[in-house]
Amino acid sequence: MRWIKFPIGLLLFVIISSQLVHAASFIPTNDQQILETLPDDSPPPRYLSAADFVSKTDASNLEDTGQLLERAYLQGDPRALGQARAQLDQTTDQSTETLMLKARALQSDHKFTEAKALLQQILSQDPAHPDALLTLSSLLVAQGQFTEALSYCEKLDDPTLRVYQLACSAQIQSMTGQLTPVKQTLSGLAAVAPGLDPSTARWIYLIQADAALRSQDATLSKQVFEAMDGQTVPALMARADWLLSIGQYEQVRELLQDHTDKDALLLRLIEAQMKLGDPKAKQNLALMKERIEV
């Protein structure tokens, strides 16, 4: 199940004041001007020139594409998604593994129609393909098509995939208000999560955090945040959403003040700053407005 990542689908809307000054596109004045500093843990450059990129992007060199997609999700780094998409655009390989990567990249870029077509192509050849079933279900959840999404969870009838089937169904049940039974299911899944691969364990904890938020269960919230990794973007989003829901705006500001480079976290920081009357809220709104325009 290494290709599937399961972010909780949340829709966010930001209203930006019309009084903010229009931000013009920034154009560097010389080749030496620094536009952005990459994170300290960024991987080394893979390509030194355009020719080098084209010569190396074939099916045999797509092993790191999944890692780039993982980085884009966990760190909120759009550059990683862009590089993954560029690699995939260069290959003519039509293997199931490559099609799954393409579907994941398209889904991450909110190109749901194209992603769905690729997943249906895989399922037409292998109706029980677990990664395709789970990815299609997660895509439908993001679109609010919960009944159809659940039907794909239920097709995971292999006993060895029981954890995935339960978690897939639990995510949808949590989002449709079936909180009491789903929290019992999630409790059992969380008990086995430490023995699962990190991606699956993270998925379970995020579903559990979402259920805690929806039911305003402080005990469950404390339990899941103690178990969950602390510094990935999905984990920070979940923690910030909980703190915002209980009015702990100071804690949100402290948690996210060093993460203004991640749009999803910046939105939550702005909300906390506005609640606190922090003058930096206007500055960050201007920053977000500029990013949206770009």
Q: Please spell the DSSP secondary structure of 109-138, one letter per residue.
A: TT-HHHHHHHHHHHHHH-TT-HHHHHHHHH
In whole angstroms, give the CA distance from residue 233 to residue 214.
Answer: 20
Choose the weakest-confidence range: 52-61, 93-102, 129-138, 276-285.
52-61
Length, in residues, of the chain: 294
Q: How confident is the model at residue 22 (pLDDT cuts 50, 70, 90)?
A: very low
For the chain, the structural domain boundaries read: 247-294
pLDDT at position 270 is 97
**CA-CA-CA-CA torsion sign (110, 114, 116, 122):** negative
Average pLDDT for residues 16-27, to the nearest whole number?
A: 43
Model pTM?
0.78
Least confidently predicted of 32-36, 97-101, 253-257, 273-277:
32-36
